[in-house]
Amino acid sequence: MSPLFWLLILPFIGGLAALLDGRSKTRSALWALAGLTGALLSAAKPVFMVLVSGNNIAAALPWSMVAGPLELVLDPLSAFFLLPVVVLGPLFALYGGAYMRHYRQEGHWHGIHWFFYNLLAVGMILVLLTRNGLSFMVAWEVMSLAPFFLVLFHDREKTARHAAWIYLVAGHLGGILLLLFFLLLGTSGHSLDFVTFQPQLLSPGLRHLLFALAFIGFGVKAGILPVHVWLPEAHPAAPSHVSAYMSGVMIKMGIYGILRSIQLLGGPVFAWGMVLVLAGVSSGVLGVLFALAQHDLKRLLAYHSVENIGIILLGLGVGMIGISLGRPVVAVFGLAGGLLHVLNHSIFKGMLFLGAGSIQQQCTSLEIDELGGLKKRMPITALCFLIGSAAICGLPPLNGFISEFLIYFGAFQGQTVASAAAAWPLLLTLAGLALIGGLAAACFVKACGIIFLGSPRSTPAAKAGETGPAMYLPMLVLAAACCGIGLAAPYFFDLVRYPLAVLLPASLSPSPPFVGAVGRLTIISLVGGGVIILSLGTALIRFFLLRQRTVCRQPTWGCGYLYPDAARMQYTASSFARSITLFFDTILHSRVEGAVPGEFFPARIGLHSSTPDPLTRFCFTPLFSGIAKFLGLLRWMQHGRVQLYILYIVATLFLLLTALAGGWL
């Protein structure tokens, strides 16, 4: 039995066992975890072999679909995207088992929940392995439907139901576009198998249309602005390990889809690379701006996923521009940066969501302005969250910097040798990445600083404690991975060698730029290691210096306002972000409700600010309400009389029959 077969079957069996054993919370979680660990073990050897040698592994499943036998192919690109699916699935499941234990009221739901969690994993694996349009769509549907039930775990809460509904609608609107894409592309070959597609037979206009369909269709899943609107609703509503899996792994399937469709369409043209860069810049900058204005930690993290997808698109766009211009260095660095950022983002975004889950478990609320001082109470979680934040801002010596460096370098190299018409997307990439990096640092200083540092702003925060080992162990593993990838960058860069070969045309050989990249990354890792060693050295010197000086602790200076409550005088998260959100208010349209003090003497006043997604508010809600109103004009047809409905059918049939009989059709 091919290991690819086990890769699909084991998580499914684990999920079924969890469903049948749903009464017990721990046992159903263990069944699911067992299935996912089985998938990891069976995937380890094939993925390793494919990524190291560059050959494909194929297997055919013993039952036939409508379009032929179900063939599974593991090529380097699929293997690369399979890595986060199989490695992070069991880690998050381990966390989730402990996290969900305190949800007592949804007793029967646990088995169902773990069944759909494993089904999500199976769906993603199937998406990565199929090479047929029909089976791809079936797998895509399975992958899209499973999270609906996962998001709906807290089904008593209206926000969760609303979020699940928006997710479902958005996913299916994207799916329609994908169906169109595959059907149109299938007209070039004689079947829906990927190997039979012949894109060179299609007209350029049709190819542009197909790219647009694939980009928007997969973009809905990936969370590209402006079709990202389901992300900030679905991720906060789901339990944390589900948010981590969805945000870290599932949205990358959209990126995989975009890459695969560009490959199926016969390689990119300059216009497509430009579109990717533009989408990347807007997703990145707007994503981080929306994130800055949020008060809820999970919503903030969800918008950061949008931003990081923007960064990934920037890298892929730079790579596509490099391919279309025939510049191997630009192509290799851009694509490698984008692909590595896919991997890096799954790691640190997953870790951040797990941290948010730990905070939610201890403090119930995720309002940033109600937390504070958690570093002293939850030191391990705080350490992992801080490392994750530094990684997501792209700071050396962690892994986020490695992928951003590759994208920067590709863009810099490209703009020195390209003409003006070709270079402006690259310059936009540079400025965009810099701005995104700076704003992301601002946002995460706000999140980390207000949540973990200072003093607690509410009673639950003051009473929090560290979570159990099942919850902080996965976070420690991920934090170690962040540091490890940052410090051993050249080895991890080798992972993308063969996935790049799949994406690059045969005319661009990747080996010369590869060697250059490895050399630079070695120096970066060495400098990163140097920073750490020097810090330790400086810390040692400081320690010896301070041994002979007096050290004491005092309350900080508060200009006389520290009594009665020093915690209330601290800076809040909304104040921290205020200068930025005020500057960008035309984009954000924040709503501020509250009274400004009008009298001379102190009175009770309150201020509340919120930033609902401007695209939902000004674009999608009016659009859908308009459609609903227009369709309401047809309400007269829905009178409820069954007989008349049947009469409509009969009349149509009769007309058709007479037309047929009369020879008019």
Binders of another protein among 316-375, rule CB under 8 A?
373, 375
Hey, which residues does 68 pair with through a beta bridge? 65
Interaction between residue 448 and another protein (CB under 8 A): yes
Smallest distance from another protein to CB 322, Å: 15
Residue 607: strand, helix, or coil: strand
Token output for 304: 């950061």
Of 57-65, 87-95, 182-190, 419-427, the segment contacting another protein by CB under 8 A is 419-427
Of 67-75, 224-232, 256-264, 442-450, the segment contacting another protein by CB under 8 A is 442-450
Of 53-61, 168-176, 491-499, 533-541, the segment contacting another protein by CB under 8 A is 533-541
Binders of another protein among 581-620, rule CB under 8 A?
583
Of 184-192, 210-218, 452-460, 474-482, the segment contacting another protein by CB under 8 A is 452-460
Interaction between residue 295 and another protein (CB under 8 A): no
Q: Of 225, 354, 351, nearest to 282 (Cα)?
A: 225
Q: Of 58, 103, 92, nearest to 194 (Cα)?
A: 58
Q: Which of 430, 470, 473, 483 binds another protein (CB under 8 A)?
A: 430
With the CA atoms of 394, 399, 405 and 406 taken in that order, what torsion angle do they form, in degrees rounded to the nearest 10? -140
Angle between helices 469-487 and 511-547 (to 10 degrees): 120
Nearer of residues 596 and 637 to another protein, judged by Cβ: 637
Nearer of residues 260 and 446 to another protein, judged by Cβ: 446
Smallest distance from another protein to CB 585, Å: 12
With the CA atoms of 42, 48, 49 and 55 taken in that order, what torsion angle do they form, in degrees rounded to the nearest 10? 110
Binders of another protein among 393-412, rule CB under 8 A?
393-396, 401, 404-405, 408-409, 412
H-type alpha helices, 54-132: 76-99, 109-129
Q: Which of 58, 67, 209, 453 binds another protein (CB under 8 A)?
A: 453
Q: Beta-carbon neighbour count of residue 412 at 10 Å?
A: 15
Interaction between residue 95 and another protein (CB under 8 A): no
Q: Of 431, 435, 430, 441, nearest to 400 (Cα)?
A: 441
End-to-end, the C-alpha distance of the chain in Å comes to 53
DSSP 47-69: HHHHHHH---EEEEEEEEETTEE
Smallest distance from another protein to CB 654, Å: 9
Smallest distance from another protein to CB 569, Å: 5
Interaction between residue 427 and another protein (CB under 8 A): yes
Of 81-89, 124-132, 424-432, 591-599, the segment contacting another protein by CB under 8 A is 424-432
d(CA 401, CA 391): 7
Token output for 496: 């993308």
Cis peptide before 226 (omega within 30 of 0): yes
User: DSSP label at 556?
Assistant: P
d(CA 145, CA 141): 6
Binders of another protein among 637-656, rule CB under 8 A?
638-644, 646-647, 650
Nearer of residues 1 and 551 to another protein, judged by Cβ: 551
d(CA 604, CA 551): 41
Nearer of residues 605 and 644 to another protein, judged by Cβ: 644
Nearer of residues 531 and 627 to another protein, judged by Cβ: 531
DSSP 352-391: HHHHHHHHHHHHS--BGGG---HHHHSHHHHHHHHHHHHH
Nearer of residues 42 and 362 to another protein, judged by Cβ: 362
Nearer of residues 26 and 579 to another protein, judged by Cβ: 579
Interaction between residue 629 and another protein (CB under 8 A): no
Token output for 105: 């009221």
Cα Rg of the chain, angstroms: 27
Pairing of the two strands 68-74 and 57-65: antiparallel
Number of residues near another protein (by CB under 8 A)? 94
Interaction between residue 388 and another protein (CB under 8 A): no
Nearer of residues 171 and 394 to another protein, judged by Cβ: 394
Binders of another protein among 557-586, rule CB under 8 A?
557-559, 566-567, 569-571, 575-580, 583
Nearer of residues 415 and 611 to another protein, judged by Cβ: 415
Q: Of 140, 135, 141, 133, nearest to 186 (Cα)?
A: 133
Q: Of 304, 293, 273, 297, nearest to 437 (Cα)?
A: 304
Smallest distance from another protein to CB 558, Å: 6
Q: Which of 88, 151, 152, 390 binds another protein (CB under 8 A)?
A: 390
Smallest distance from another protein to CB 337, Å: 11
Token output for 415: 């703009």
Token output for 73: 């192919």
Binders of another protein among 473-532, rule CB under 8 A?
516, 519-520, 523-524, 527, 530-531
Interaction between residue 450 and another protein (CB under 8 A): yes
Of 157-165, 178-186, 218-226, 537-545, the segment contacting another protein by CB under 8 A is 537-545
Of 26-34, 87-95, 171-179, 446-454, the segment contacting another protein by CB under 8 A is 446-454
Interaction between residue 550 and another protein (CB under 8 A): yes
Q: Which of 442, 478, 487, 504 binds another protein (CB under 8 A)?
A: 442
